[in-house]
Amino acid sequence: MGNPQVQLYQTLVTHFGSQENTATALLVKQPAVSGWVCGTKKMSAQTALRAERATQGAFKASDLCPALKEFQNLSA
């Protein structure tokens, strides 16, 4: 079994149909997406929030960028 984070990124790419479509939807370049699915790069908090919005909550920002978990239960 592989890295769960990488598997999540791969599922995100499947959601959008391709790495290029994912990059376009999330306002990043395709090599960034490739880095996520290869496990060499991590998704930024800003991009993770974009992904949550672009997928209408199907993917949670705090799952895509675990650094956001500490803010998950904060309220303004």
Structural domain spans, the chain: 4-71
Fold topology of 4-71: 434 Repressor (Amino-terminal Domain) (1.10.260)
pLDDT at residue 1 tops 70? no
pLDDT score for 69: 87
Q: How confident is the model at residue 42 (pLDDT cuts 50, 70, 90)?
A: very high
Output the pTM of the full model: 0.89
Return the H-helix or E-strand segment holding 74.
Answer: none
Tally Cβ neighbours within 10 Å of residue 68: 17
pLDDT at residue 56 tops 70? yes
Q: Which residue has better confidence, 75 or 31?
A: 31
Give the least confident one: 3-7, 53-57, 61-65, 70-74.
Answer: 70-74
Question: What whole-number distance in Å separates Cα of residue 37 and Cα of residue 76?
Answer: 34
Q: Which of 42, 51, 63, 45 is nearest to 21 (CA)?
A: 51
